[in-house]
């Protein structure tokens, strides 16, 4: 079944929103690196790539359903935060906004009786629970460390150990290869 025009526009807006998330996290990563938190910068850099993965997942879906991909303008992200805690609190707030966008897409899919799309969007609904939880988890760690040097150092070391999942790595490689 061909996807509706309205739904295609909504999905295209979400592709742009996911790419904005990537842009935001790249900006956060740069600030963290410059501020002296290389582990957190690494974590955010990987998060930025996860967002490209989300965008491409939706992009491929639009194409699979015979829709037209229309990329929108991506606004400039903020450049500065007060502390690593501030960064992760902002990331958490941002993910809550993204969850609301995904929920709206699901509501629209349901209103159009587009069951295939509902099933596709379920992955994003589940992913958003994870996305919110991981940003909140890091924010809570920073809160507990309360700006103390040793605690901050340990958190940064831990965040520096994050690795991309095989699924994301493969999908990003496939996307880049396909674009060649």
Q: How far is the CB of 73 from ligand FEO (least distance, A)?
A: 18
Question: What is the spatial distance between Cα 91 and Cα 86, in angstroms, rounded to a whole number?
Answer: 9
Would you count residue 131 as binding ligand FEO (CB under 6 A)? yes
Which two tokens mark 98?
Answer: 């993204």
Would you count residue 57 as binding ligand FEO (CB under 6 A)? no
CB 137 within 8 A of CB 89: no
Show the site string, 75-114: x = touches ligand FEO by CB under 6 A, - = not.
--------------------x--x----------------
Q: How many residues bind ligand FEO (CB under 6 A)?
A: 7
Q: How far is the CB of 63 from ligand FEO (least distance, A)?
A: 19
The span from the first CA to the last CA of the chain, in angstroms, equals 29
Q: Which of 134, 108, 136, 131 is nearest to 121 (CA)?
A: 108
Would you count residue 51 as binding ligand FEO (CB under 6 A)? yes
């Amino acid at each position: 079944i061909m996807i509706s025009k309205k739904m295609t526009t909504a999905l295209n807006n979400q592709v742009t929103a996911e790419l904005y998330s990537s842009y935001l996290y790249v900006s956060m990563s740069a600030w963290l690196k410059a501020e002296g938190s290389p582990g957190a910068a690494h974590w955010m850099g990987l998060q930025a790539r996860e967002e490209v993965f989300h965008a491409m997942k939706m992009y491929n879906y639009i194409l699979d359903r015979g829709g037209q991909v229309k990329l929108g303008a991506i606004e400039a992200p903020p450049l500065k935060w007060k502390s690593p805690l501030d960064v992760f609190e902002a990331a958490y707030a941002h993910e809550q906004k993204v969850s609301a966008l995904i929920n709206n897409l699901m509501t629209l899919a349901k209103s159009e009786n587009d069951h295939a799309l509902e099933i596709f969007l379920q992955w994003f609904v589940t992913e958003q629970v994870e996305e919110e939880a991981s940003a909140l988890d890091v924010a809570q760690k920073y809160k507990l460390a309360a700006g103390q040097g040793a605690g901050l150092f340990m958190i940064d070391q831990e965040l520096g150990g994050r690795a991309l999942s095989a699924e994301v790595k493969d999908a990003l490689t496939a996307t880049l290869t396909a674009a060649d």
